[in-house]
Amino acid sequence: MRKILPPLILGLLLLGGWEAAVDVLAIPTYLLPGPIVIARTLVSDWQTLAESWWITMSIALAALAAAVVLGVALSVLFSASKWVERSFFPYAVILQVTPIVAIAPLIIVWVNDTSLSLLICAWIVAFFPILSNTTLGLNSADRNLVDLFKLYRARWWQRMAFLKLPSAMPYFLAGLKISGGLSLIGAVVAEFVAGTGGQASGLAYRILESGYQLKIPRMFAALALISLSGILLFLALSLLSHLCLRRWHESEIREEN
Amino acid sequence: MPRSIVSCRDVSKRFANGTLALDGATLDVEERQFLSLLGPSGCGKSTLLRLIAGLAQPSTGTITWNGGHDGLSFVFQEPTLMPWATALDNVVLPLRLAGAARAEREAQAAAALADVGLAGFEKSYPRELSGGMKMRVSIARALVTRPTLLLMDEPFAALDEITRFKLNNDLLELWQRDRFTAVFVTHSVFESVFLSQRIAVMTSRPGRVQSEIVVDAPYPRDAGYRTSPLYNEHCRSVSAALEKSMAHA
Ligand SMILES: Nc1ncnc2c1ncn2[C@@H]1O[C@H](COP(=O)(O)OP(=O)(O)O)[C@@H](O)[C@H]1O
Ligand SMILES: [Mg+2]
Query: What's the rounded Cα separation, in Å, for the pair A3 and A92?
Result: 38
Please indicate whether, in this complex, the C-beta atoms of A249 and B126 are within 8 angstroms of each other: no
The count of other CB atoms within 10 Å of the CB of residue B62 is 10
Amino acid code (one letter) for B22: L
Residues B178 and B56 in one domain: yes
Residues B220 and B154 in one domain: yes
> Is 70 exceeded by the pLDDT of residue A256?
no
> Is 90 exceeded by the pLDDT of residue A4?
no
Higher per-residue confidence, A3 vs B94: B94
Ligand 1 atom nearest residue B47's Cα: 17
Domain-ending residue, one of B146, B175, B200: B146
Range of the domain at B91: 81-146
In this prediction, residue A251 has a pLDDT band, given cuts at 50, 70 and 90, of confident
Question: Which pTM does this prediction carry?
Answer: 0.91
Domain boundaries, chain A: 53-245
ipTM: 0.94
Cβ of B62 below 6 Å from ligand 1: no
**B179 domain residue, yes or no:** yes
**B210 domain residue, yes or no:** yes
* Nearest neighbour of B74 by CB, restricted to A148, A163, A248: A148
**B206 domain residue, yes or no:** yes
Strands B149-153 and B72-75: parallel
Residues B109 and B65 in one domain: no
Please indicate whether, in this complex, the C-beta atoms of B97 and A147 are within 8 angstroms of each other: no
Residues B156 and B227 in one domain: yes
- Residue range B200-227, pLDDT digits in tens: 999 998 999 999 999 999 999 988 999 9
Residues B182 and B222 in one domain: yes
Residues B239 and B162 in one domain: yes
> Is 80 exceeded by the pLDDT of residue B50?
yes
Domain-ending residue, one of B94, B119, B146: B146
In this prediction, residue A155 has a pLDDT band, given cuts at 50, 70 and 90, of very high
Query: What's the rounded Cα separation, in Å, for the pair A60 and A56?
Result: 6
* Nearest neighbour of A151 by CB, restricted to B74, B78, B85: B74
* Residues paired with residue B37 on neighbouring β-strands, in sequence order: B185, B200
Please indicate whether, in this complex, the C-beta atoms of A152 and B93 are within 8 angstroms of each other: yes
- Residue range A72-102, pLDDT digits in tens: 999 999 999 989 989 988 998 898 888 888 8
The answer for residues whose C-beta is within 8 angstroms of residue B66's C-beta and 6 or more apart is B3, B4, B5, B6, B7
* Nearest neighbour of B80 by CB, restricted to A144, A169, A248: A144
Q: Does A254 touch chain B (CB under 8 A)?
A: no
Residues B205 and B165 in one domain: yes
Residues B65 and B188 in one domain: yes
pLDDT, position A257: 54
Residues B56 and B157 in one domain: yes
Residues B129 and B214 in one domain: no
What residue owns the CA closest to ligand 1's atom 16? B44
Residues B66 and B154 in one domain: yes
Q: Does A248 touch chain B (CB under 8 A)?
A: yes
**B85 domain residue, yes or no:** yes
What is the CA(B122)–ligand 2 centre distance, in A? 30
According to CATH, the topology of domain A53-245 is MetI-like fold (1.10.3720)
**B76 domain residue, yes or no:** no
Q: How many domains does chain B have?
A: 2
Closest alpha carbon to A56 in A235, A194, A238, A234: A194
Query: What's the rounded Cα separation, in Å, for the pair A199 and A55?
Result: 11
**Minimal Cα–Cα distance from B117 to chain A, Å?**
23
